[in-house]
Amino acid sequence: MGLKSVTKYSEDMEKATPYVSESFTGLEEESLTGLEKGVHITEKSLDSKSRIIDRIKDKNSHGSDDSSTVNDPVSEFIYEKVSSLTLEEGLQILKDEVSYHDDDVNFPALTLSKIKGLIAGEGHDEDPDSYEIDVKIEAALIKYHSPYPEVRAVCDPFDDPTIPVETIRAYILGTIWVLIGSFVNMFFNQRQPTLRIQSTVIQRLLYPCGKLAERLPDWSFSFRGRRYSTNPGPWTHKEQMLATVMVIELDGLPAWLQSLSIPRKPLSGPL
């Protein structure tokens, strides 16, 4: 009796084993199928993002030639704005830009023509997804960057507030070159041949002066809870721009200088 029971139990287990094995195998295959689907969706999303960023780079003309998004924060920034825009918002931005830049001679005519075509719906029936991406990219570049490709090529659409701007050395160098340029231009204005120092020349001279100022000792002091330093670090493009704005005023002589010169000329005879 006991032997029969054991034999029957063994036979039942042998019969049950294939069933358990098939169930587990089916569950495993189903899980792997779901995993493969997840991987496929992720790869598709990454591929879509890569294609959009490549198109942004082509329009933006800024950033490295590398297709990776890590080395191009500008394209990443524009991509985030593209992702946040809806098709209706993008079309409204384009309509406002056409109204504003319709008679702008500096606005690229080819871009304006393309924007008008997007507003008219050209390409929507053939490829709705590509049409929507084009609308969003054009709208994001205009709203969050600049409508002019020349500006986009040299400027970023975001700012880094940690970069020093109004530093002591920027004001000192700007003031020194303003004094030098003003003296030379006014002193030689009444002489022949006239000698003038253009602001573009001083702008080029400012950069090596700024790089030289990086070697100054780091003397600092605090005033009203804010720390000021004579050498906050490497010479930045913001400091260069501040000093350049100061020397740009040298391009034109003051009007009172001509008013002083005219009364000294004789009232009779050839002038």
Q: Is the pTM of this model over 0.75?
A: no
* Matching residue, tokens 């020093």: 164
Q: Which two tokens stand for residue 228?
A: 């000021």
Q: Which residues are paired to 220 by β-bridges?
A: 229
User: Residues in the chain, how many?
Assistant: 271
Compute the distance between CA of residue 228 and CA of residue 220 in angstroms, rounded to an integer.
5
Compute the distance between CA of residue 203 and CA of residue 205 in angstroms, rounded to an integer.
5
Whether 202 contacts 247, CB under 8 Å: yes
Query: pLDDT tens per residue, the chain (271 residues)?
Result: 444 444 444 444 444 444 444 443 444 444 444 444 444 334 445 567 788 888 888 776 544 444 444 457 888 899 999 999 999 999 999 999 999 988 898 898 888 999 999 999 988 888 888 899 999 999 999 999 988 988 888 888 888 888 989 899 999 999 999 999 888 888 887 778 878 888 889 989 999 999 999 988 888 888 787 788 888 889 999 999 999 999 887 766 666 666 666 665 566 655 5
Q: Which two tokens stand for residue 1?
A: 């009796």
**What DSSP string runs through 190-235?**
TSSS-----HHHHHHHHHHHHHHHTTS---EEEETTEEEES--SSP
Residue 57 pLDDT:
80
Compute the distance between CA of residue 11 and CA of residue 6 in angstroms, rounded to an integer.
9
Compute the distance between CA of residue 166 and CA of residue 155 in angstroms, rounded to an integer.
19
> In the chain, where are the structural domains located?
34-158, 168-253
How does DSSP classify residue 229? Answer: E
Q: What stretches of the chain adopt beta strand conformation (E)?
A: 220-223, 226-229
Residue 177 pLDDT:
92
